[in-house]
């Protein structure tokens, strides 16, 4: 049994979705030994081939390898015959780095980004949002809304997916299982 299963960061990896993990894309090895080949780390379960939309947590690394071989025939994988199994330290390293990056992103979100101001009906409070944006010395509309010829829609829920300003806040509506309570000045 692989040592990696004893790593708490590996267990956390299994509990998170591929989207939340923001995994680095699989890249070709540049070392002489495995040049041109990609390595799937011991224990890996998510496909890291760039832009692969498959978000499945595979039941085993072997099933993940099968997916890559079948769906991404252009990718050559290293296997037992190329360099063999990584040593134990390496097994831990991949998952430690992934979770370290995840923790940093989560901490940055909570400490730095203010909550998106919402109205009682949970739609975005555009006036307050724009006030907050201006207080950060940023222009309204943002570059994207300006470039897409919808400057008036900037900071509206309709353009939530593209408007740059939504990236300046944490959206309480994205936090599942948590009831949103408006702060006193909004009530």
Q: Which positions lie near Zn ion, rule CB under 5 A?
A: 47, 49, 52, 54, 142, 145, 154, 163, 165
Taking the complex as a whole, the smallest distance from the CB of residue 144 to Zn ion amounts, in Å, to 6
> Smallest Cα–Cα separation from 158: which of 181, 124, 110, 119?
124
Taking the complex as a whole, the smallest distance from the CB of residue 166 to Zn ion amounts, in Å, to 8
- At 171, list the tokens: 């959206």
Question: Between vectors from CA 36 to CA 33 and to CA 40, what angle results, nearest 5°?
Answer: 85
Distance (Å, whole) CA 24 – CA 19: 11
* Residue 23 or 163 with smaller CB distance to Zn ion: 163
Contact of 19 with 55, CB cutoff 8 Å: yes
Taking the complex as a whole, the smallest distance from the CB of residue 56 to Zn ion amounts, in Å, to 9
* Residue 3 or 173 with smaller CB distance to Zn ion: 173
* Residue 43 or 165 with smaller CB distance to Zn ion: 165
Phi, psi of 165 (to 5 degrees): -65, -25
Taking the complex as a whole, the smallest distance from the CB of residue 27 to Zn ion amounts, in Å, to 14
* Residue 168 or 182 with smaller CB distance to Zn ion: 168
CB-based burial label for 154 (10 Å; 0-12, 13-18, 19+):
buried
């Amino acid at each position: 049994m692989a040592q990696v299963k004893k790593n708490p960061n590996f267990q956390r990896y299994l509990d998170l979705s591929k989207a939340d993990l923001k995994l680095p894309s699989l890249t070709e090895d540049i070392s002489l030994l495995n040049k041109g080949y990609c390595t799937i780390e011991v224990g890996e379960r998510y496909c890291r081939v760039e832009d692969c939309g498959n978000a499945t947590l595979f039941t085993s690394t072997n099933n993940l390898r099968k997916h890559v071989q079948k769906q991404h025939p252009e990718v050559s994988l290293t296997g037992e015959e190329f360099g063999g199994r990584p040593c134990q330290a390496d097994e831990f390293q991949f998952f430690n780095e992934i979770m370290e990056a995840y923790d940093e992103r989560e901490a940055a979100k909570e400490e730095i980004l203010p909550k998106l101001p919402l109205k009682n009906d949970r739609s975005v409070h555009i006036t307050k949002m724009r006030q907050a944006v201006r207080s950060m010395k940023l222009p309204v509309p943002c570059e994207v809304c300006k470039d897409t010829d919808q400057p008036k829609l900037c900071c509206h829920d309709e353009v939530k997916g593209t408007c740059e300003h939504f990236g300046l806040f944490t959206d309480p509506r994205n936090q599942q299982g948590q009831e949103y309570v408006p702060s006193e000045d909004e009530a």
